[in-house]
Amino acid sequence: MEFHKIANIHNYEPLIGSEAVDRILSKAHRLNDLHIVHINSTFYGGGVSEILSSLTLLMNSLGIKTGWRVISGSPDFFAITKKMHNALQGSDYHFTRRKVQVFEEVIHENAIRMHLNHDMVVVHDPQPLPIVAHNRKRGPWIWRCHLQLHDPHPQLWEYLQNYIQMYDAVIMSLPEYRQKLNTPQVFFMPAIDPFSQKNRELSDPEIDERLSHYNIPVDLPILVQISRFDRWKDPEGVIQAFKIARKEMPCTLVLLGSMATDDPEGAQIYESLLKCQEERLLILSSQDSALVNALQRRAAVVLQKSLREGFGLTVAEAMLKGTPVIGGRVGGIPHQIDDNVNGFLVSSPEEAAARIVQLLKDDRLREEMGRKARDSVLKSFLLSRLVEQYLDLFSSFRSNFSLIS
């Protein structure tokens, strides 16, 4: 039986150079006695699971035993953690003892099942956060927060800090998300895997096949937004921008979304958007990575008009493919898009519509922005950079912890 070839660090050499590959291999070699585990709340849907899927494989290929565990929970639990997620990004939150009890009991149950005796543990986002309280540390525990911590709900944040202070380090995506914590904070921007099904090179016939399979018309320029069905992604604002822009430049809009197991609001938002669907406005729900790839490559313009965004991996994914992106001026998006250089930043549907029209009218501008977008991703947002940051962080702990052999 022939297995799919899994990318290793040597595959990155044409993209990052042999010197960088040798440096990463040397750092990994010094850590190849470690057993590390990552914990999050879903195997699919959203950027965290995509990063972990590729990150854990690449770490293992470097000789570092790296596992990935996912917490389980009731619909009630995930409804509560979704509200927590929203509150950490600025929404209101009704803090009750019942919610705390459900949250803590489910995490305690997960802790009993997981048997976490690893050398290092990396816990992602608020859903599994309290698991640190139920384990004896063998080595460092790290909390990795992927959210846009701009204005977290004060009472909720005060409660969560009781657990955060049990960790040995906190990783956030950007320095502007820094919080007043005694726990040391470091900042890693997310990154993408250029060899994943979503990002690998596709031929024109392969792209045509995927678009045809989903009955996506290609006779007019295609606008695309790809994201979870989440109100912070502002799908209604994208639709409004499309309807303004098409009055001047006929085009097709495809909103492609997915629903993660830890996000019970996704199905409701998807159902509400279906009411907007028409011949030139397609609302699709699919976990088809090849379709994502095909749409990002064939699109004239990709949008990510978020209202809150911890980082926004779909921006980097589209930019890697040489497609210009119009993004919301929030969170991590301005760290990827240099406004008017490799894409556009906007703050309203009207602004987005104006930029859509500008790009659709100017083939040369689309090509130039797309080229600069791809160059910026190759320079700053490949998974090899993120792996090296983790290796450096793990190395920094070796002098501070006596790991049990």
- The 10s digit of each residue's pLDDT in 174-207 is 999 999 999 999 999 999 999 999 999 999 999 9
Per-residue pLDDT tens for 245-279? 999 999 999 999 977 666 778 888 999 999 999 99
Q: How far is CA 382 from the centre of its chain?
A: 13
> Look-up: residue for tokens 């926004």?
312
β-bridge pairing 185-187 and 222-228: unpaired
pLDDT at residue number 33 = 94
pLDDT at residue number 247 = 97
- Helix or strand or coil: residue 117? coil
Task: Report all structural domains of the chain as residue ranges with CATH numbers, in order of start.
Answer: 9-191+382-397 (3.40.50.2000), 204-380 (3.40.50.2000)
pLDDT at residue number 401 = 60
**Which residue type sits at 209?**
E
- Helix or strand or coil: residue 2? coil
Is pLDDT of 403 > 90? no
Rg of the chain over Cα atoms, rounded to whole angstroms, equals 21
Please report which confidence band the pLDDT of residue 92 belongs to, taking 50, 70 and 90 as the band edges: confident
pLDDT at residue number 70 = 97
Please report which confidence band the pLDDT of residue 213 belongs to, taking 50, 70 and 90 as the band edges: very high
The dihedral built from the CA positions of residue 33, 39, 42 and 47, taken in this order, carries a sign that is negative
pLDDT at residue number 91 = 86
